[in-house]
Chain A
């Protein structure tokens, strides 16, 4: 095995929780499953655990492959593994699919035992707070009292931040990457267009499309295409596609004329094949509702007063959907509370997607930060 290697073949596990969970909305989930994966070994005093929180379309499958011939490994495989920035030789890493997801944890497409039918429209709206509460129960289930680190990008970064507020004594370090303290109106506007694309699809059936044997593929596809545009920078799209044509001559039609269109359609189609539209609605709503400062009259510094963790905040210069200025707001609020914080504002061309890219400097910063984390006896 090379020094930088994969965690290898992994398998998901499922934890069942029979204690009802009261959600922020007031709705109650009587019972639920969380599907998760782990990499590395939990040490004797259970002090080396790291939780990975996923973003909008992420899953519990963070690293490794299920089978040797899987085309792709987990979504953050470049970050996590033996000798990688998040080194599984030192840390015990957990990936979990969030409630309301569509990759195995209880969500809209899961069968509701009360009705024998998929939850569909009846599945409640979940929030970042609800995810953190459910993840804490998973930690209890695994016997983990306190995490060495909680790591997330984008919506995952919001969860890492919320963890530090909800369970200040259970998080030693929070790595908040390409995130924001809340969404701007423009950012929420993209989510609303995406949801409208789904909801107005004739095959949405108010969210209960499962029983009609269809999925609102067209809406989900458009939602994803829109999202993709906002995850990339103008420069990145320019470099990748520019005005490159698909064919040798202009066809004066509405078929694919430019390479960019071909790419967006491909991404939309691929996503609509595998992702659940109801989950997409809920993930975007969780983004919209996230705003820890709202209970403090918009005072983020007051909201973050509860935090005790050390923080690494990372943003990317070309990320316009979660701009560097939003990360600087988080940093300022942490500074106002005299917390231990470092902030790296990385020059990157890839826009919001940069947090998933294997940029050497980005990885070096994350590696350096994680290497300095000490836990239970041995460093």
Chain B
């Protein structure tokens, strides 16, 4: 098993202290009893949290063996598959919410997965570390690739291949005709409204189809 998988990146984040506040923020966008698909679900912590707090019917998708086992142990439904292969195993509009939590930046097929999420989910939640966060900018200005709580890897061992800033993702949604219904930017779990692309470390988007 590779040590550099999106799944493991997610698990790593799950250990971060701010993760719970991330969960709580996501939970605000999920209706009680909703049918939820969590892509790159790690050990199932988010789905377990949504089940316990909102009684959702949840399924996770995960690639790494250890995480699949953890989900089964945690009593979280998990489907073992590689997200890069797409979501053809899921019917159109078959989930109320499809979540991609801090996995987007590690995907190769970035465009494909976002469009497929919008096909499968009535709503989509995407979260990712903001590469434009000021701490990252300073590290680049001083001559190094950024390393932070949300980007805890060295350049040579990172699973991240498609890092972006909040501004980049806004442009992505505009260019792909994706409607942003809500956006929340957090730093240390607290909302950031001033200069989010500089002061925000974690970006959360609620997306819908532009139709």
Q: Which A residues lie at the B interface, using CB under 8 A? A: 312, 328, 331-332, 335-336, 338, 340-347, 361, 364-365, 368-369, 371-372
Q: A336 to chain B: which residues have CB within 8 Å?
A: 91, 94
Interface of B toward A, CB cutoff 8 Å: 35, 57, 59, 65, 68-69, 71-73, 75, 77-81, 89-91, 94
* CB nearest neighbor in B for A366: B72
Show 14 residue pairs from A and B whose CB-CB distance is below 8 angstroms, ordered by the A residue.
A328-B89, A331-B79, A335-B59, A338-B35, A342-B77, A342-B79, A344-B69, A344-B80, A346-B65, A365-B68, A368-B72, A371-B73, A372-B73, A372-B75
- B115 smallest CB distance to A (angstroms): 20
Q: Are A344 and B68 in contact (CB under 8 A)?
A: yes
Q: Hey, which chain A residues are within 8 Å of B69, CB to CB? A: 344, 361, 364-365, 368
How many angstroms from the CA of A369 to the CA of B70 in the assembled complex?
10
Whole-angstrom distance between the Cβ of A212 and the nearest chain B Cβ = 52
| CB-based nearest B residue for A325 | B89
Contact between B78 and A343, CB atoms less than 8 A apart: yes
Q: Which residues of B contact A343 (CB under 8 A)?
A: 78-81
List the A side residues contacting B65 at CB < 8 Å.
346-347, 361
| Residues of chain A within 8 A of B91, CB atoms compared | 335-336
C-alpha gap A280/B86 in the complex (Å): 40
Minimal beta-carbon separation of B71 from chain A (angstroms): 7
- Partner among A328, A347, A365 whose Cβ is within 8 Å of the Cβ of B72: A365
Contact A338 B57 (CB under 8 A): yes
Minimum CB–CB distance for B40 against chain A, Å: 15
A-B contacts, CB under 8 A, total: 54
Contact across chains for A345 and B73 when beta carbons are under 8 A apart: no
Q: With contacts A343-B80, A371-B73 known, what are 10 further pairs, Cβ within 8 A?
A: A328-B89, A331-B79, A331-B89, A335-B79, A336-B91, A336-B94, A338-B35, A341-B77, A365-B68, A372-B75
Which chain A residue shows the least CB distance to B90?
A335
Pick from A332, A342, A347, A371: contact of B78, CB below 8 A: A342
State the 9 A-B residue pairs at the shortest beta-carbon distance, nearest first: A368-B72, A368-B73, A345-B80, A343-B79, A332-B89, A342-B78, A372-B75, A344-B80, A369-B72
Q: Within the assembled complex, what's the spacing in Å between the Cα atoms of A331 and B81?
A: 11
Considering the chains assembled together, what is the distance between the CA atoms of A345 and B78 in angstroms? 11
Question: Could you say which residues of chain A place their CB within 8 Å of the CB of B72?
Answer: 312, 342, 344, 365, 368-369, 372
- Contacts of A364 on B, CB cut-off 8 Å? 69
Q: Tell which of B73, B79, B89, B90 has the most Cβ of chain A within 10 Å.
A: B79
Give the residue name and chain of the A residue nearest to B88 (CB). Answer: A332
Chain A nearest CB, measured from B69 CB (Å): 6
Closest chain B residue to A345 by CB distance? B80
Question: Which of A340, A343, A346 is most buried by chain B, counting CB atoms within 10 A of its CB?
Answer: A343
Whether B94 pairs with A340 at a CB distance below 8 angstroms is no
- Which residues in B have their C-beta under 8 angstroms from that of A344? 68-69, 72, 78, 80
A179 to chain B, nearest CB (A): 16
Name the one of A332, A340, A345, A368 contacting B77, with C-beta atoms under 8 angstroms.
A340
* Cα of A344 to Cα of B90 in the assembled complex, Å: 16
Report the minimal beta-carbon distance from B190 to chain A, rounded to whole angstroms: 36
Residues of B within 8 A of A347 (CB): 65
Chain B residues contacting A371 (CB-CB under 8 Å) are 73
**A365–B74 Cα gap in the complex (Å)?**
11
Identify the closest chain B residue to A364 (Cβ): B69
- Would you give the shortest CB distance from B159 to chain A, in whole angstroms? 19
* B68 contact set on A, CB distance < 8 A: 342, 344, 365
**Hey, which chain A residues are within 8 Å of B78, CB to CB?**
342-344
Please report the C-alpha to C-alpha distance between residue A346 and residue B68 in the assembled complex, in whole angstroms. Answer: 10
Give the docked Cα–Cα distance between A342 and B69 (Å).
10
B25 to chain A, nearest CB (A): 26
Q: Which residues of B contact A345 (CB under 8 A)?
A: 80-81
- In the bound assembly, the distance between CA atoms of A372 and B35 in angstroms comes to 22
Instruction: Name the residue on A nearest B57 (C-beta).
Output: A338
Give Cα distance in the complex from A331 to B65, angstroms: 18
Q: In the assembled complex, how far is the CB of residue B47 from the closest CB belonging to chain A, in whole angstroms?
A: 12
A345 to B44, CA, bound (A): 17
User: What's the least CB distance linking B39 to chain A, in Å?
Assistant: 14
Chain B residue contacts of A368, Cβ below 8 A = 69, 72-73
What are the residues of chain B within 8 A of A361 when measuring CB–CB? Answer: 65, 69
Q: Which of A312, A332, A342 has the most CB of B within 10 A?
A: A342
Tell me the minimal C-beta distance from B84 to chain A in angstroms: 14
Docked CA distance A361–B66 (Å): 8
Bound-state Cα–Cα, A335 to B35, Å? 11
- In the complex formed, the residue of B with least CB distance to A371 is B73
Q: How many whole Å from A287's CB to the nearest CB in chain B? A: 25
Question: Shortest distance in angstroms between A300's beta carbon and chain B's nearest beta carbon?
Answer: 12
